[in-house]
Amino acid sequence: MKKLLYIFVISIALVSCTEVIDIDINASNPQLVVEGGIGLNEPARIVLTRSISLDQSIEIPFEENADVEISDNEGNSEKLLEMSPGIYFSSTIKGVAGRTYNITINTAKETITALSAMPAQVRIDTMTVENSIYPGGGPPVGNQPAPFYEIRVKYTDPEPETNFYRFLVTVNGVVTSRNNVYNDRLTNGNQVEAFLIVFNSELKAGDSITVEMQCIEKPVFEYFSSVASSGGPGGGTSSPANPYTNLKGAILGYFSAHTVERKTYLLQ
């Protein structure tokens, strides 16, 4: 009886300590998110959206009817055209290595500016893709499932300048990985191998994997590094902690002038 009484008293004490806590999640003010860039020999492309609160299930809204302009240090300037809601392109200005580009974005609520200089291009030496059972596990044997694809991109880092790189991985035209960034702090002047992974158990012969190599500026490298460490998505949308940005007048997003080289591998 004493033991039963003791258990009963402890149970009552535990129940009495239980408390329902209501957590008040305040809705954040929508912030403009800028994903902007101009690639080598390619037009400028600026995507404008608005951040949403964590408790909202709606699709991310695009920012329409903004006034977006780009100019370079050679005296060229152009107003970008809104080709689809929230997505703006230049029609005459294309990226040139060594030039510095400035964008100005005016909406009904804010003005945002950003500056970015395009570095010299570093080319891809070789790219290989290997199907494996797990990263580093080797190719499949018989009917063994092998949903991993190991991508190895080799390039030669020039010296003595400091270089920064970004790799985008696209599968069948859809970007699957965009926060792969490297610097040459430990590899200056060496041949470097970037190791990228695609996990997809549904890929088949004829499907494509494309890698885009970009030479980027340090501020852009810091943006994507901070996005990866803060837990935010690669698209620059709202995240638990605001990443670094090279924008003035906005806290979410980036603008990048970068070189571009793409290589595509078709699955056999």
pLDDT tens for the chain, 268 residues long, are 444 444 444 444 444 443 444 434 445 688 999 999 999 999 999 999 998 866 665 688 999 999 999 999 999 999 999 999 999 999 999 999 999 999 999 999 999 999 999 999 999 999 999 999 999 999 999 889 999 999 999 999 999 999 999 999 999 999 998 889 999 999 999 999 999 999 999 999 999 999 999 999 999 999 999 987 765 444 444 445 678 999 999 999 999 999 999 999 999 8
Evaluate the CA torsion angle 220, 49, 38, 65 in order and state its sign: negative
Tally of CB atoms within 10 A around 255: 29
Q: Which residue ranges does the chain devote to CATH 2.60.40?
A: 32-117, 124-231+259-266
What integer pLDDT is reported at residue 230 of this predicted model?
Answer: 61
Q: What is the pLDDT of residue 60?
A: 83
How far is CA 24 from its chain centroid?
31
Task: Give CA–CA dist 125/153, Å, rounded.
Answer: 8
Distance CA 245, CA 259 (A): 20
Length of the chain: 268
Q: How far apart are the first and last CA of the chain?
A: 75
pTM > 0.75: yes or no: yes
| CATH code given to domain 32-117 | 2.60.40
Here the tokens at position 165 are: 């790189």
Task: Write the single-letter amino acid at 214.
Answer: Q
Q: Would you say domain 124-231+259-266 falls under CATH 2.60.40? A: yes
- Tell me, what's the pLDDT at 94? 98
What is the pLDDT at residue 203? 95
